[in-house]
């Protein structure tokens, strides 16, 4: 089932790419039911917090009528950054499953394990590598022409 949810997140990532956003997508589920889906919208919203994960968590909290995301799983195509990993812990999200590692800013094991920091007393578990190659591909395609220009 993880692969199915991650494919839905990949669909969101493709929407982000089509809008000129960094192609990251996310879906949030509880008890096998979709609560929210989103993709990066920082450029469109002129908002540094409009990451796919943040938008998903906001939608899910509204749908649940509770800021606590206990029992929920967030599927995201790219390893969460410090902001998103912090929001996962603060929202009491139960689990995050991500595809591609982020060696530069990833805070679920690559650079730092923010949800695993005992000082935060977090409860968010994470797993990586679900459809990792498929999740990395849109990011590589998005950044390749930008790197060539630089």
DSSP string, 62-115: HHHTSS--TTEEEEEEE---HHHHHHHHHTT--EEEEEE--TTT-TBTTS-BGG
Rounded CA separation 123/137 (Å): 30
In the set 12, 21, 53, 79, the catalytic residue is 53
Whether 53 is a known active-site residue: answer: yes
Backbone dihedral region for residue 64 (phi beyond 0: left; psi -120 to 50: alpha; all else: beta): alpha
Residues annotated as catalytic are 53
């Amino acid at each position: 089932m993880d692969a199915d949810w991650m494919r839905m997140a990949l669909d969101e990532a493709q929407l982000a790419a089509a809008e000129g956003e960094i192609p990251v997508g996310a879906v949030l589920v509880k008890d096998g039911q979709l609560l929210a889906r989103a993709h990066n919208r920082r450029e469109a919203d002129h908002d540094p917090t409009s990451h796919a994960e943040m938008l998903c968590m906001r939608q899910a909290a509204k749908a649940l009528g509770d800021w606590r995301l206990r029992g929920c799983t967030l599927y995201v195509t790219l390893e969460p950054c410090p902001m998103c990993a912090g929001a996962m812990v603060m929202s009491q999200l139960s689990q995050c499953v991500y595809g591609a590692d982020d060696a530069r800013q990833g805070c679920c094991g690559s650079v730092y394990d923010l949800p695993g920091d005992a000082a935060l007393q977090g409860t968010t578990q994470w797993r990586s590598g679900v459809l990792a190659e498929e999740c990395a591909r849109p990011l590589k395609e998005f950044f390749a022409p930008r790197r060539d220009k630089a």
